């Protein structure tokens, strides 16, 4: 339990690499908030798994494609955790357009 007492956010942790990261942090004793955007069921399964193992975790919906979505997620995380020790920016997206075909909005969504 090397991370007991640490407060951790893992974005995009409802599946794949983010899921593995969140489970490892929980195994090491961290208190977690994970984000999901399209897979609430997957996020709930991870939270249930962590809680059944004695861990402390919450899942929040987040849309990081807008500044407002990022700010809302951050406020909700602080209301749950109080402060943050570790942030894992795992959430990501992609666009199949070529770089010079992207609109400003497309580019902002990628960031």
Residue 100 lies in a domain: yes
pLDDT in tens, 9-39: 999 888 889 999 999 999 999 999 999 988 8
Whether the predicted pLDDT of 86 surpasses 70: yes
Residue 43 lies in a domain: yes
Residue 65: pLDDT band (50, 70, 90) is confident
Q: How many domains does the chain have?
A: 1
Residue 98 lies in a domain: yes
Residue 24 lies in a domain: yes
Containing domain of residue 36, as a range? Answer: 7-110
**Mean pLDDT, the chain, as a whole number?**
91
Domain CATH number, residue 44: 3.40.50.720
What's the confidence (pLDDT) of residue 96?
78
Q: What is the 3-state secondary structure (H, E, C) of the chain?
A: CCCCCCEEEECCCCCHHHHHHHHHHHHCCCEEEEEECCCHHHHHHHHHHHHHCCCCEEEEECCCCCHHHHHHHHHHHHHHHCCCCEEECCCCCCCCCCHHHCCHHHHHHHC
């Amino acid at each position: 339990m090397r991370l007991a007492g640490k407060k951790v956010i893992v974005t995009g942790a409802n599946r794949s690499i983010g899921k593995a990261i969140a489970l490892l942090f929980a195994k090491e004793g961290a208190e977690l908030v994970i984000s999901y955007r399209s897979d609430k069921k997957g996020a709930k399964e991870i939270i249930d798994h962590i809680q059944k193992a004695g861990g402390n975790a919450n899942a929040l919906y987040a849309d990081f494609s807008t500044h407002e979505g990022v700010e809302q997620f951050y406020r909700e995380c602080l209301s749950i955790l109080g402060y943050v020790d570790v942030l894992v920016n795992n959430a990501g997206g992609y666009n199949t357009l070529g770089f010079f075909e992207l609109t400003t909005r497309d580019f902002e969504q990628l960031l």
